[in-house]
Chain A
Amino acid sequence: MTTEAISSGFSTGPTATTGPRGPKPKTVTIGRIGVYAFLILSAVFFLLPLWVMIVTSLKTMPEIREGHLFNWPALLTFDPWLKAWDTACTGRDCNGLKPGFWNSVKITALSVPVSIVIAMINGYALSFWKYKGSELLFGILIFGAFVPFQVVIYPLIIGLSKIGLFATLPGIVVVHTIFGMPILTLLYRNFFASLPIELFKAGRVDGAGFWGIFFRIMLPMSVPITIVAIILQVTGIWNDFLFGTVFAGRENMPMTVQLNNIVTTTTGIREYNVNMAATILTAAVPLVVYFISGKWFVRGIAAGAVKG
């Protein structure tokens, strides 16, 4: 080695040009193959029930009795779907799921906007217009999320029937709004709390009041979190069974209750294909909501968590 190399402190030997350089090459290890195999197996395992439901709903009853649970139907039929929708019997009525579907649409279409609008205003007021006791109120509201629904059902029945709303459409909307309030208010309060307080102050200096700041500044900014709220509420209210049974009344039975009645009605043989078709139909709405809004859902949660 020359004296220059020693004094400069750097080695100019062959390792400098032949050593590792650029991106590290990716290697397929046994461990990685194992991870993928496990993931694929789990996916298959969790998708199997759905597969069974779909193929069963497309089979005729004689074929189902043969017991080949996973087979593709030999004789493809859509009759069970039509029956589930149109003519399946729930007790004495034989109208299928159809009326329940429209009842669920009515309940969801009313409850979702009402609950979200109230929660939005709640969250906004609790983040920006704090008053004496507002934190306490928020605490009580959040406590509501931990109260088991079953505990308050009886008092609610008495209360609603006293004001004539028991077993009516407005009644069930009120119930969904009440029970959606804690989680939705939390969602909106935390979202608004994550916005810079200066934005609110700037609005006040510019002369906007409570509603001015709400509608012109905060509302346009809360689109992502509102999409999250809509998804939460649509799936929650659509899938609800308990409140529907208790509060909706015979006229407004939602789809889930009707599905239950179809499945548990035991006159004659149990029509597995019709039951499967009815279940898929009922579950279709939240599934569709997830599929078309999945991207928005993730984006909304991320936006709410990080900045706004």
Chain B
Amino acid sequence: MTTSVSIKDLSLSFGNVKVLESLDLEVAQGEFIVLLGPSGCGKSTLLNCIAGLLDVSDGQIFISGKNVTWDEPKDRGIGMVFQSYALYPQMTVEKNLSFGLRVARMPKAEVDARVKRASEILQIEPLLQRKPVELSGGQRQRVAIGRALVRDVDVFLFDEPLSNLDAKLRNDLRIEIKRLHARLKNTMIYVTHDQIEAMTLADRIAIMKNGVIQQLADPHTIYNKPVNLFVAGFIGSPSMNFIKGDLSGTTLSVDGQANIPLGNYQFANQTNGASVLGIRPEHIVVGEDARKMPVQMESEIEIVEPMGADTVAWTKIAGQSLTFRAAAEVHLEPGQKVLIGFDPGRGSVFNAASGNRI
């Protein structure tokens, strides 16, 4: 597998504020990488650095094997799609698509051929003579993608492209972007704060916080084996339950009220002391199924949230709040006493002081 984008020791600071610090990232040819994180984590800044729209303070950027650290955006072989679409309002869709090519003084026949191809792929041929104001949000974003498409670039950069769209359109375009990637097989780097987009689109997700990549892995690993408390809490909705306690050997004692045996949990780096057990709501089972689980306990339901497909219930164990997901058919109501159970082997254990997985 060849490397498409390679970022080495990248730092960026605005005055005294360090936005990115010694960041390394290798993106393989044809890979779909999602940069995910809360706002202000530096993910958009990183994308702007790759695009060449921001000058870096230190480090190097390679695209397709070429050091582009000092190159202009147009010479980097990238196309970029912005959250606000950034279509040129006074130009028709056709002119919007061909703008970059016309700036590069490409022969007209070639320009027309490329615009035609891109508009076919994105199914925007009937819109070519319209102005951006006459388009809907989804159509605008499609034109914006087309603008990157016509330039025949190696790498596509997406800066929260779906955040301005309504929920339904967002789902439709998400599928379309996935389809586009399957068809074109270009390298794509995609910035978002939406974990659903990240989970569904990415080959690998890079979760960022304070300008540092916390974990870079495929969605399955990110979801099931988060490396630290931040990643564990950021991914998943409703978010992972955290049960604070004191670990000694393979037993987590919770405020002296309950002892949870972590029997089949595979420790990577067992450390006694203050620890946090993370368990996803859907890994907790209720009722008869709970009897088969290694850990079982009685608890009283506080709130029930029916979601349609399933039901989320809130309860407490040893004074700490806990949510679990039950099938929609299971009847639950506040005040009801239920037996819940889970398998610690599917959970994650973190050291409370460092926040790292143990």
Contacts and interface: CB of A to CB of B under 8 A. Distances in A.
Contacts of A208: 99, 103
A202 B86 contact: yes
A221 interface: yes
Interface in A174-224: 196, 198-199, 201-208, 212, 216-217, 220-221
Interface in B290-342: none
A201 B148 CA distance: 13
A204 B48 CA distance: 12
Interface stretch (B71-79, B116-124, B272-280, B347-355): B71-79
Interface string B58-94: 0000000000000011100011101111111110000
A205 B150 CA distance: 13
Interface in B22-81: 48, 51-53, 72-74, 78-80
A205 B51 contact: yes
A217 B99 CA distance: 10
Interface string A218-240: 00110000000000000000000
Given A201-B82, A202-B147, A205-B80, A220 B90 contact: yes
Contacts of A221: 89-90
B100 interface: yes
Contacts, number: 59
B interface, how many residues as a size bin? 20 to 34
A202 B74 contact: no
B152 to A, nearest CB: 13
A136 to B, nearest CB: 15
B78 to A, nearest CB: 7
Contact of B100 (A199, A205, A220): A205
B258 to A, nearest CB: 45
Contact of B83 (A198, A203, A205): A198
A162 B321 CA distance: 83
B104 interface: yes
Interface residues of A, number: 16
Contacts of B151: 206
B74 A198 contact: no
B48 to A, nearest CB: 8
Interface string B155-197: 0000100000000000000000000000000000000000000
Contacts of A220: 90
Contacts of B103: 206-208, 212, 216
A197 B80 CA distance: 14
B86 A201 contact: yes
Contacts of A206: 74, 99-100, 103, 147, 151
A216 B91 CA distance: 10
B53 A204 contact: yes
B114 to A, nearest CB: 13
A275 B111 CA distance: 65
A196 B72 CA distance: 21
A203 B103 CA distance: 10
A201 B88 contact: no
B100 A196 contact: no
A93 B337 CA distance: 108
Contact of A207 (B74, B82, B86, B87): B74
A196 B86 CA distance: 7
A212 B88 CA distance: 13
Given A201-B53, A220-B90, A207 B84 contact: no
B88 A205 contact: no
Nearest to A308: B89
B82 A198 contact: yes
A216 B90 CA distance: 9
Contacts of B73: 201, 204-205, 207
Interface in B250-288: none
Contacts of A201: 48, 51, 53, 73, 80, 82, 86
Interface of A: 196, 198-199, 201-208, 212, 216-217, 220-221
5 contacts: A196-B86, A203-B88, A204-B52, A206-B147, A216-B103
Leading 4 A-B pairs by shortest Cβ distance: A207-B74, A206-B100, A198-B86, A198-B82
Given A202-B87, A204-B53, A206-B100, 15 more contacts: A198-B159, A201-B48, A201-B53, A201-B73, A201-B86, A202-B88, A204-B72, A205-B79, A205-B80, A207-B72, A207-B73, A212-B103, A220-B90, A221-B89, A221-B90
